[in-house]
Chain A
């Protein structure tokens, strides 16, 4: 709409499955608001005009209270309020319940940029490519302050908080280019923490994925491969082997299993827990083990933590994931190259100060 240089819209393009439902509710509430505004304003104008000072009208028997009338104008809005509440809560639950089958994407907010990581390894900054018609689930965390990932055309928004994962899901229905905005004040360049959301046809999208997001000469490492690299770089396998050992519990099959802690509490090992256990392992110790794990809070970025978690999910004892790089290339089965892992598996000490128990250190 518009005239000459003045181009304007009155509503953002509805481009997700939820958008039409959203707009219907929005317009209904707007309709109610308009109705009540007009009713009261009409009352005011009518009374003010008819009973203005000096008009010759009946002013006898003034009413100063009327409980019935009060109940009506309390009751009618109250019933309407409950109806609207029910409708909007139903919508809200639908949009906030994460879909089971969805394209999973990770998002890291930092001053003043959006990082997106696809499962296939493609990383994007301030751009996000998704396929039309398929639900998208974004798991988000912030590296510094609170941001809010806001996709107006999808009618989707959720805060990106440091220290915890949040989720956002939507299903794009219309191919095109849309806005990605930050809707929570995050400092100097808040208004430039913006990007584009590209919704593509399945064939285009397959093409884009094939080319590794048009950005990489070679196909990028998938998120699990990237996680495996960190796992090996940081030497996680030094302690976390295929089976529980005196130094550390195994991480095989840990995801979504209940963990018991030394303080008697327990929790399900979800992504939130894995993050905490990597960044601040001393917070909750798995029952049976000492506080020996180094703190990775300052050394790993949020993206690396996400990649690690995705890799840990895939661990199986049979895959040989627990063989260190130097071990892998030695002859299997020979004791000639006894790694720290093997010694640990046999119950011995790796001789590394950080693995000693607190008593030994004293």
Chain B
């Protein structure tokens, strides 16, 4: 991206070694910071913590399922374990991870702003997130929740465990998302540097803009729905329980009205990350910029009209089913657009298989499978047999884990030098990317098969169908590899924060304000001087780039391969 800085006609200040990380070292300076970069780091630490809890729950589930009769847990504890896995992973990790960590850190820098539009609101959103997480954790300490992350009534209204407390926690976390969404929209509208027109915005920004729209339209609905469950539990208001004259299927409508768009809250930011990585490591302008940008918005809006496809067999009318089904089929198209455009972006590029690129390519492979198996579920007839089985579990893990987490890890590896000013070991990075890819497929592909065979999700025992065991054993074996793949970045990235080689401002040779106009790590004010954007984004030249590597490795990170 070509840009220029505004010379203010005064004597240049001496270049200082201060950056946002070492500007102040006190704990207070971190906990009361309004710097979007520091808030991003606070989020990074907290989502990693919640991911860890969710992952332990996942490991317990996988271990338990290797035997048809169970091994360690009682059915009650098993149900609480998968509920914990779902609740932590969805509400405290997936929905938050990319927007709150990478989005917070990068959006102001990418558009040439000094900070978010509402820095204090940004800090408040982190505190809301932590409060919500603390309440959810408290609810599990005090006895747990066994209704699953979907909280279907009347199970969640009859159940006698800590559901109310947990729901209040999710309610508060929801408001943290809303604050972040409001902040993103205001920032992207009002804080762009002069010359940063909409079509010069990196696609990462477009994706986050679409995400923020979904967040502020959808989250209030789920917040109030879950709150109504709390009211019904606490005061006996008959909203959902048929005993009290309510309608349990109404809950499903309200819940999925948010929770289906929520999967786009999870995946759209990952699309943004992948667009950046593919372009950078193909060293050429992205193919079909406007189609990718507008497909994000199309997904955001169409995403609100498909919630009923979770309810094909829930007693909604056949006509409703047909309408939701056809919109769901149409919704496959914007994702297909992105996929084809990314693949074509590599055509005549100068492709480099760095760690972030490997994660992005892994993302494309897994999201393809995840998205295309969604067709079995969009189709009314095929949905009947596989809904509520491990087929669904496999499908949404391909999209959520294969999509969102690979996008997140790719993004973390891509912007790590920017965030911490240091580089990690490429060898370890590439190994982790490949281990995650293999482990992931081994974990979740067998689940498609056992789901088609008819194993319902959330089953603790399956002693009546021992033929399912082989698939669970394979899946658990895969999950061990996957766990290792997730642990490795945790270790070498932590090491690199303290001991890694110093990275320059632009170790990848990437385009964009965050690389070209900003130090690594950035100073608290992001830019030394105000910026004027004069050219288009992604103005790479693959031919020149490739020539550099024709004969030998240059000193740049990564080198020839």
* Residue positions of A touching B, CB distance < 8 A: 2, 6-12, 21-22, 25-26, 29-30, 32-33, 36-37, 40-41, 43-44, 47-48, 51-66, 69-70, 73-74, 77-78, 81-82, 84-85, 87-89, 91-93, 95-96, 144-146, 148, 150, 152-153, 155-159, 161-164, 166, 179, 181-192, 194, 280
A144 to B464, CA, bound (A): 25
Interchain CB contact under 8 A, A156 and B288: no
Knowing A29-B375, A161-B315, A190-B460 are in contact, say whether A10-B381 is a contact too (CB < 8 A).
Answer: no
A179 to B455, CA, bound (A): 10
Residues of B within 8 A of A12 (CB): 452-454
Interchain CB contact under 8 A, A88 and B343: no
Please give me the residue from chain A that is nearest to B460 by CB atom.
A191
A48 to B337, CA, bound (A): 19
Interchain CB contact under 8 A, A40 and B343: yes
Interchain CB contact under 8 A, A69 and B344: yes
A184 to B376, CA, bound (A): 19
Interchain CB contact under 8 A, B336 and A74: yes
Residues of A within 8 A of B248 (CB): 146, 161-163
A85 to B459, CA, bound (A): 31
- Some 22 contacts from A to B, beta carbons below 8 A apart, are A29-B382, A33-B375, A40-B368, A52-B351, A53-B351, A53-B549, A62-B285, A62-B348, A77-B336, A78-B330, A81-B375, A85-B379, A95-B384, A148-B456, A153-B454, A156-B385, A159-B314, A161-B248, A164-B242, A184-B152, A189-B75, A192-B75
A92 to B378, CA, bound (A): 12
Chain B interface, >50% SS class: helix
Chain A interface, >50% SS class: mixed
Query: Smallest Cβ distance from B122 to chain A, in angstroms?
Result: 35
Residues of B within 8 A of A65 (CB): 287-291
Residues of A within 8 A of B242 (CB): 162-164
**Per a CB cutoff under 8 Å, which of A26, A74, A157, A184 touches B337?**
A74
- Tell whether B504 is near chain A: CB-to-CB under 8 Å: no
For the complex with contacts A65-B287, A65-B291, A190-B460, 15 further pairs of A-B residues with Cβ separation under 8 Å are A8-B468, A40-B339, A43-B344, A51-B350, A52-B353, A53-B546, A73-B336, A81-B329, A85-B379, A88-B379, A146-B248, A152-B453, A162-B243, A183-B387, A192-B75
Knowing A8-B470, A65-B291, A157-B384 are in contact, say whether A41-B368 is a contact too (CB < 8 A).
Answer: yes
Stretch of B107-115, B153-161, B211-219, B493-501 contacting A (4+ beta carbons < 8 Å): B153-161
Interchain CB contact under 8 A, B325 and A89: yes
- Tell whether B35 is near chain A: CB-to-CB under 8 Å: no
Chain B positions 143 through 156: 1 when the CB is less than 8 Å from some CB of chain A, otherwise 0: 00011101010110
- Tell whether B195 is near chain A: CB-to-CB under 8 Å: no
Interchain CB contact under 8 A, A37 and B372: yes
Residues of A within 8 A of B289 (CB): 64-65
**Per a CB cutoff under 8 Å, which of A25, A36, A152, A162 touches B372?**
A36
Chain B positions 347-396 with a Cβ under 8 Å from a chain A Cβ: 347-353, 361, 364-365, 368-369, 372-373, 375-376, 378-382, 384-385, 387-389
Query: Smallest Cβ distance from B337 to chain A, in angstroms?
Result: 6
Interchain CB contact under 8 A, A85 and B550: no
Interface centre among B150, B343, B385, B462 (most CB of A within 10 A): B385
Query: Smallest Cβ distance from A187 to chain B, in angstroms?
Result: 6
Please give me the residue from chain B that is nearest to A19 by CB atom.
B385
Interchain CB contact under 8 A, B351 and A51: yes
Query: Smallest Cβ distance from A158 to chain B, in angstroms?
Result: 5
Interchain CB contact under 8 A, B348 and A58: yes
- Tell whether B221 is near chain A: CB-to-CB under 8 Å: no
- Tell whether B32 is near chain A: CB-to-CB under 8 Å: no
Knowing A37-B369, A190-B459 are in contact, say whether A85-B325 is a contact too (CB < 8 A).
Answer: yes
Residues of B within 8 A of A157 (CB): 313, 384-385, 387-388
Interchain CB contact under 8 A, B337 and A70: yes
Residues of B within 8 A of A74 (CB): 333, 336-337
A158 to B452, CA, bound (A): 16
Query: Smallest Cβ distance from A351 to chain B, in angstroms?
Result: 32
A277 to B283, CA, bound (A): 71
Interchain CB contact under 8 A, A166 and B315: yes
Interchain CB contact under 8 A, B79 and A190: yes
A74 to B550, CA, bound (A): 37
Interchain CB contact under 8 A, B313 and A148: yes
Residues of B within 8 A of A280 (CB): 245
**Per a CB cutoff under 8 Å, which of B150, B155, B452, B453 touches A145?**
B155
Chain B positions 461-499 with a Cβ under 8 Å from a chain A Cβ: 461-462, 464-468, 470-471
- Tell whether B340 is near chain A: CB-to-CB under 8 Å: yes
